[in-house]
Every structure is written in C-alpha cells, then in structure tokens.
Amino acid sequence: MKFFLVISLLISSCLCNSINIGDVYVTWKNMGEETYFKVTAYLKEFNNHDCWISIGINRSPLMNGANSVVCRMNNNETWARHYLNNGRSPSLLDENEPSLGLSDTCVSVIKDNITCQFIRKNQVDDKMKSYFKINETNEYYLIYAAGEGDFGMHSRQGQTRMPVKFHLNPLISPPDTTKSYDNNESHESNFKKIMGAHREKKDCAEIFKFLNSHYVKYDRQQTSFYKQTDILSRKLDVDCT
C-alpha cells in the first residue's frame, strides 16, 4: 500500500497531462510508442471489494464507439480488459486477447478510491481500424464509467467537455543504447525533473539515490520504470507522506 501512496504522490505532482471529470481524476503521459494512464475515482456509494472503473477514448463525447479499458476489482482478483463500446453491448477489441495493447496494469483500492494504472500501446496492427491510434496530433474525448459488481451496470458516467491531446512526454530522455548515461543529466535529476519532485525528506532522497544507482540497468525499457519503482520502493520501504 505504501508503494501506491509513493507513486501517486510522485505522479500527481508531475508535469504530465491530467484532467478532472467530475470527481474522477485522469492523468496520462504519451511516451511515443505507448501511453501511460492513471484514473482514480472516489467510490463513496460502491462496495470497494467488488467494483470496476473504465476509461475510454473516443472521437465524439459519447460512450458509444469508444475504446475503453475496464479495470475490475473483485475481492483479491483484479483484471484489465480492452473493450469496444458498441451500442449497448461492449465487446472485447480482440476476443483472443482481452487485454490487447495493455501492459503493466495495476488496479488498487486505497481507502475510498479505486485507481487503475496501465500502459496502452499507441497503435496495434494497422488492419485493426477499431483500435484508436494515439499520437501527438490525434485528439480524443476521455470517457469514464464506474460501477459496482460486474462490468456493465454502470451507475456513474462522464466525459471531458473538449477532446484532449497526447503530447509526447517521454519518461526519460529517449533511450540511446549506444551511449551510457554518464553525462550530467543524471537519473536522479531526470527523475526529479520529469516527475516534478522536489522533496526534502531524507527518506525520499534515499529513494532517488537508490533509483539513480539502480535504474541504469533498466533504462533501455522505459515502461519497466514503474515496475522497478515499485520493487525499489518496497525494498527501501520508503514513505514520502
């Protein structure tokens, strides 16, 4: 649980794009090949052991036609699947691969909030017209829904008033496998710059130091960053609150 607090503190203070849709908070970061999303909703009326949240992108401010990622929390089981909202009956974008284009998914409930984080490929097979491509110019409305029990019976739904953009915002300066990061842009300063973290506490300084010395091993794969942060923050047992 501490990890989620740490991560959400870091992410909520970052320079990435974010928006509130009612009391649902969405943040995203286009990393070029894929986009990181995080969506948090206040559960108030829901049973927080049995609920779901979805966030979709669409060319119109409607649920119908959206590419929606649905995240489900059912007791100790969680999953995330990628749907196409087709009229009243959403269907999986790919029957054979329910989480098509998704990786690093993480569904959590902290106090009264459900949070879903995932990384979505900006593009899959060109032949798949129903998979909306994210790039710097394409704009989409963000559409969320949430509910109790099985996905489908949503009691809450909303969308952005305007379409949003997905500015290219790489997590780390683009990985260059021909060079090591032995220039003056250390991982720590990169990390702080990108995440907008200016924390003074000793414990937080420790995690930056640790990441700085260890992240070098993983920086060839930008998306593993969050996973590694998880492992490292657990290892360090840091608390930045």
Ligand X SMILES: *[C@@H]1O[C@H](CO)[C@@H](O)[C@H](O)[C@H]1NC(C)=O
The owner of tokens 């990061």 is 181
Residue with smaller CB distance to ligand X, 83 or 166: 166
Closest CA to 40 of 8, 76, 81, 84: 8
> 217: which 2 tokens?
């091993």
Residue 26 or 171 with smaller CB distance to ligand X: 26
Is 99 one of the binding residues for ligand X (CB under 6 A)?
Answer: no
Secondary structure of residue 206 in the 3-state scheme: helix
> Exactly one of 1, 76, 129, 153 binds ligand X (CB under 6 A); which one?
76
151 near ligand X, rule: CB under 6 A: no
**Which C-beta is closer to ligand X: that of 35 or that of 40?**
40
Give Cα separations from 48 to 80, 149, 194, 228 (angstroms).
16, 10, 32, 27
Binding test (CB under 6 A) with ligand X, winner from 89, 96, 177, 183: 183
Residues 123-142 close enough to bind ligand X by CB under 6 A: 133, 135-138
What is each CA distance from 61 to 41, 65, 166, in whole angstroms? 19, 10, 17
List Cβ neighbours of 152 (8 Å cut-off, separation of 6 or more). Answer: 90
Q: Which of 27, 99, 105, 113 binds ligand X (CB under 6 A)?
A: 113
**By CB under 6 A, is residue 184 in contact with ligand X?**
yes
Minimum CB–partner distance for residue 15 and ligand X (Å): 19
Binding site for ligand X (CB under 6 A): 23-25, 40, 42, 75-76, 110-111, 113, 133, 135-138, 183-184
